[in-house]
Structure 1
């Protein structure tokens, strides 16, 4: 287990909104998370995020909406996609108040060629279907916990399509507890964040 200091949303320096509360994210339950391959686990992006935006694609046939999280330097560090297995009402509550970001179309030969080069150089994203939950640590603080999830057939098809569109490697190996994170809501600069 390692401890990290939580960044504040004010450090982001972007027009993105504050982070959704961990309770709101946990209520959505099953989601597809995309995270940089350099991260140790799927919730590291949550730990390093400082702001969030609701993403809506321009094209009518585009992927479902998502939440794009950015770190304090404004770099994308985590992305959460709605799946057919997600709690849609909880999703609406989680994205309430987030500013909207319009995605550029993900297709095109040039874009695919650039992504292929990026992956060969060791960059890129992993994708994993997770079930987010809220738990308590030994000190009684609420933490966000993520276990790998087995989606429905429709959910798996959607996850595969999103991962392919985003150029992400879809991970499917089961984890009993792949990651956990705590973010202090009251005083983010004074509380540590735990992850394993």
Structure 2
């Protein structure tokens, strides 16, 4: 970079020292002014760099905010999922409890029916035992009557034989 006075001299290069040493002169001018110009260049760039850094900070803050929002959404979804799982588990347990309750009611009804059948069967057994006792009693009576008839028949036979024997003895 060549300062303005040096540029004008380069354009109007009429002097011999400029024509003989144009590169050295411009380098000397350049190196001499370079120390003074660089800080000025950096000062303008610092503002640009600050703007870039502030934009980068804003974008990073937005990314962090998005990340936080995504994390919160994921956490809420996980919590909803856990709540849903818990609700499903509770619903399953409630359904199982209701099923067990229905089974219990059915078994109670079956038990009551069985007890009623047992009572009916016990009453029927008692009735049949009573009828059996009556039949056995009637059979015993019939046997006794038959035995009595047999005894009477035997007695009549014995009496008739006795009579026949008396008659035979008397006839003799």
Q: Which has the larger radius of gyration?
A: 2
Structure richer in strand, relative to its length: 1
Greater relative CO, 1 or 2 (CA 8 Å, sep 6+): 1
Structure richer in helix, relative to its length: 2
**TM-score of the pair, normalised by structure 1:** 0.11
**TM-score of the pair, normalised by structure 2:** 0.12
